[in-house]
Structure 1
Amino acid sequence: MVVLNKIYTRTGDGGQTALGDGARVAKYDLRVESYGTVDETNATVGLARLHAEGETDARLAAIQNDLFDLGADLCRPGMEKDAEAEYPPLRMADAQVERLEREIDAMNEALSPLRSFVLPGGSALAAHLHLCRTVSRRAERLVVHLAADDDVNPAAVRYLNRLSDWFFVASRAANDDGARDVLWVPGANR
């Protein structure tokens, strides 16, 4: 259980922050930027949930929890040291990726194939889910960049890749199963 009695610590006033293993790094470090953008994604999901109900809201709540798991995973470098850690670090699991895939497949069954690219919009929920999609894509780019030079859980990368797909398919479902999708018309305003 996490207990936060004091919110400010002043330890970051010099432009550094602590990673999950205690190491101090610059606040602009790529690892910090990566899990910070995951946190930003989570905030956009919170906005989307203001427009969601029922099963969609429950799925978004699960995604928010997953995103905290993902942040915890990313803030802890050195997967090779996990076995010797006093407390086992929280890592993303393939089961979380597989759940997203099952949900994508279930939502996609009701959708007709696309004949054009979709513009963000339609319903309020769909527009917010598109925002979630674009922010999660940015998080994915940062995590992939981090993984090129540092130790990153492969399940974390897979999760972010599926998550943006989940948001896209969910946005179409939120637009009356695609009937209210706003389609791109190439060159329409020339």
Structure 2
Amino acid sequence: MVVLNKIYTKTGDSGETALGDGTRVPKTSPRVAAYGTVDEVNATVGLARLHANGDMHDMLALIQNDLFDLGADLCRPEMDKDKDAEYPPLRLATSQVERLEGEIDAMNANLATLRSFILPGGSPLAAHLHLCRTVSRRAERLAVELAASESVNPAAVKYLNRLSDWFFVASRVANENGAKDVLWVPGANR
């Protein structure tokens, strides 16, 4: 259980922070950048939820909880030591990736095939979901960069990849199943 009764600790004043295993690292480390950007994704999802209702609202709530799981996963390095840990760290599960895939397939089943790229926008919810998509793509790039040099749960990277796809499809659903998508017109302003 988490207990936060004092918010500031002053331990980060020198530009370092603690990872989930207690290791102190610079706040500019790739691992901190990756899980910090996951936190940004979560904040954008919170904005999107303000415009969502019904199933969309409920699915976004699940995603927000998953993103905390993902942040907890990314802030805890050295996966090979998980089995020896006194308290096994929380790792994102393949089932969370599979849930996203199922939701993408269900949402996409009612959408017309795209014949053009779409511009972010349409409804307020769709615009916010596009912002979620772009920030999650950035989080994915940072997680992939981290995985090139340090241990990262493969399910974490897969989750971020599926998540940006989820946001794209959900934005189309939010635009009346694509009827209000704003289509890109190549070279329209020449």
TM-score bracket relative to the smaller structure? over 0.9
Which segments of 5 or more consecutive residues in structure 2 lack a partner in the other structure?
none
Aligned to 1:133: 133
- Per-residue CA distance 1:120-178 (angstroms, 9 max, x = gap): 00000000000000000000000000001100000000000000000000000000000
- Per-residue CA distance 1:18-63 (angstroms, 9 max, x = gap): 0001100000000000000000000000000000001100000000
Aligned to 1:5: 5
2:24 equivalent to 1:24? yes
Question: TM-score with structure 1 length normalisation?
Answer: 1.00
- Determine the C-alpha separation between the residues in 1 that align with 2:12 and 2:92: 27
Aligned to 2:89: 89
1:32-181 equivalent positions in 2, closer than 5 A = 32-181=32-181
| Shift of residue 181, structure 1, vs aligned partner | 0.1
- Determine the C-alpha separation between the residues in 2 that align with 1:127 and 1:174: 9
Question: SS at 1:144's partner residue?
Answer: helix
- Determine the C-alpha separation between the residues in 2 that align with 1:80 and 1:115: 45
Which segments of 5 or more consecutive residues in structure 1 lack a partner in the other structure?
none
| Shift of residue 118, structure 1, vs aligned partner | 0.6
What is the percentage of aligned positions where both structures have the same residue?
78
Question: SS at 1:25's partner residue?
Answer: strand
Question: TM-score with structure 2 length normalisation?
Answer: 1.00
Question: SS at 2:17's partner residue?
Answer: strand
Q: How many residues align?
A: 190
The code of the aligned residue for 2:51 comes to: H
- Determine the C-alpha separation between the residues in 2 that align with 1:16 and 1:144: 22
2:15 equivalent to 1:15? yes
Post-superposition, which runs of at least 4 consecutive aligned residues in structure 1 deviate over 3 A?
A: none
